[in-house]
Amino acid sequence: MFDRLKGSAALVRADDATVVAAITGWARVEAAASAARLAAIAELVRRRATGPVDHAMWSCDNWDAIAAEVAAAQGISHRAASGQMYLAVALRDRLPRVAALFAEGAISARLASAIAWHTDLIKDPDILRLVDAELAKDAARYGPLSVTKTAQAIDAVVDRHDPGALRRIQSAARSRDLVVDLANGESGTAALWGRLYATDAAALDRRLLAMAHEVCEDDPRTLAQRRADALGALAAGGQHLACGCGNDDCPARLECDERASNVVIHVVAESSSLDGKRDAGLSGEGKPDGEAPPTAPANNPPTALIAGGGTVPAPRIAELVRQGAQLRPVRYPGKRVAAEPQYRPSAALDAFVRCRDLTCRFPNCDRPAEFCDIDHSIPYPLGPTHPSNLKCLCRKHHLLKTFWTAWRDEQWPDGTVVWTSPTGHTYTTRPGSRLLFPSLCLPTGELPAVPGHDSRVDGRGVMMPKRRRSREQDRIRRINAERALNAAHVAERNQPPPF
């Protein structure tokens, strides 16, 4: 497949038709490569998923242990890895003919995923074989359909063979969610999107509009900016939007901005960021009239960082401090700091480790440090309570390290952690503060070697938090519940004709 396609160097001299043909050809190659990757994931699941029966009830079960390896191998999140595992297993075990088309590059990854999703509620294996065969026959002929039309085409086949397996309109309501994307924010902002009940959305829209109109006429923000800030005030438990005019005699002035006083958000910043001047460019339509763009880089205070993702400009930090935000200094402990005698770190050491790491230190995990456990890289008491031996791990990855003991980690004095997976692959993670706050990542001292330490302890599975139901039991309950929503549709289809 590769031999017949032109590379980037040859395409420079090719005509337009050849370039478009290369796009089509490489899209097939990409699909085939994705299919091969998913086949490898399915094979890993086959080898590892069938563990001891009691492990199926573990909070961090066999599936989680496999997902950790898949996530680390691809540089993706645990959740994304788990989703790929479900798709890989569905293609291998439930849709072999569709999987064969995918392996040839005849259908895209998007179409393969859509077919797996829309056939997920089919329980009868004989019906599933018929649907797989019909979809494999039709899929290559779908052509350039939109996402909606593709779903409709798949649903038509499913409805013909198993009307109880349709994902109906109720799925839109069941997909209610609100996503706050801190990790990919730009210039101190974050994206927000989701799905609400229409009635709740209308109430929110009217409430934001009412709050946006509570400020005085001198407020420099646009209506859209005030609506966005009003949502922040609501999130902090406030009922009113603080006016941004800065006038002492403002009739809409609040004694304290509720966003700065009611909710705790951990932000790491240099002390120089706390005295920044107010930036008029953060609000309004743009720079004031007549203000020329800077001709040289400004000597601005360093940007702050929200624990878990998202940057905050220094002027915004200074404004929050003026409005009542509380400060807690965090200090680098030094190169010769002594170990603490107890298991739990002191408040000062705890704060330093969380500000240094910012997130969970397992590969590709971005769980904020404030929600993480503090883990001893070398288990206590063999390993001391010392900054060179402490790191942040979210609860899932802490359980993974503690109970699925094939993972190994080595921590360096600067906070770098080298992970070794059960297959011997290594992944290096560095503290989240390394780029913006390098002073927090200075070495904190070498620790004496602990030869031959082994974190495995007999009977530790007794301490593992347990699930109420296994993952497979949850899946079966979900499928039965969704099929029950189609009972009326199935009954109507099964009625005899009116003659």
* Tens of pLDDT, residues 156-185: 999 999 998 887 655 556 678 888 877 665
- The whole-angstrom separation of Cα 304 and Cα 384 is 31
Q: Which of 7-16, 78-87, 117-126, 298-307 has the lowest mean pLDDT?
A: 298-307
Q: In this structure, how many other beta carbons lie within 10 angstroms of the beta carbon of residue 318?
A: 21
d(CA 327, CA 260): 11
190 closest CA partner among 240, 236, 231, 237: 231
Please say whether the beta carbons of 164 and 121 come within 8 A.
Answer: yes
Q: How confident is the model at residue 129 (pLDDT cuts 50, 70, 90)?
A: very high
Residue 150 has pLDDT above 70, yes or no: yes
User: Mean per-residue pLDDT for 388-399?
Assistant: 96
Element (DSSP H or E) covering residue 202: helix 198-212
Write the pLDDT tens digit of every residue in 369-388: 989 999 999 999 899 999 99
Q: In the chain, what is the straight-line distance between the N-terminal and C-terminal CA atoms, in Å?
A: 58
In sequence order, the 6+-apart residues with CB closer than 8 A to the CB of 27 are 105, 108
Contacts by 81-87 with C-beta closer than 8 Å and gap 24+?
Answer: 84/38, 84/41, 85/41, 85/42, 85/45, 86/116, 87/38, 87/112, 87/113, 87/116
485 pLDDT band, cuts 50/70/90, is: confident
Q: For residue 93, what are its two tokens?
A: 């075990």
Phi, psi of 417 (to 5 degrees): -125, 130
Question: In angstroms, rounded to a whole number, what is the distance separating the alpha carbons of residues 285 and 398?
Answer: 47
Q: What is the mean pLDDT of residues 255-279?
A: 61
Question: For residue 327, what are its two tokens?
Answer: 């400060």
Longest dimension (CA), the chain: 92
Q: How many other CB atoms sit within 10 Å of the CB of residue 461? A: 13
Q: 308-364, pLDDT tens digit by residue?
A: 566 777 777 677 677 666 777 888 898 889 999 999 999 999 999 999 999 999 999
d(C-alpha 379, C-alpha 454), whole Å: 9
Say what the pLDDT of residue 217 is: 86
Shortest CA distance to 68 belongs to which of 410, 407, 308?
A: 407
Helices (H) and strands (E) counted in the chain, each on its own, are 17, 10
Cβ-contact 121, 167 below 8 angstroms: yes
List the structure tokens of 174.
């069941």
Nearest CA among 12, 22, 63, 43 for reference residue 474:
63
Please give the model's pTM, rounded to 2 decimal places. 0.79
What is the mean pLDDT of the segment spanning 121-150?
A: 87
pLDDT of 297 above 70: no
Position with higher pLDDT, 114 vs 189: 114
424: left (phi over 0), alpha (psi -120 to 50) or beta: left
Q: What is the DSSP letter of 227?
A: H
Domains in the chain: boundaries: 2-167, 170-263, 347-449
Instruction: Determine the Cα angle at 46 with ends 43 and 49, to 5°.
Output: 135
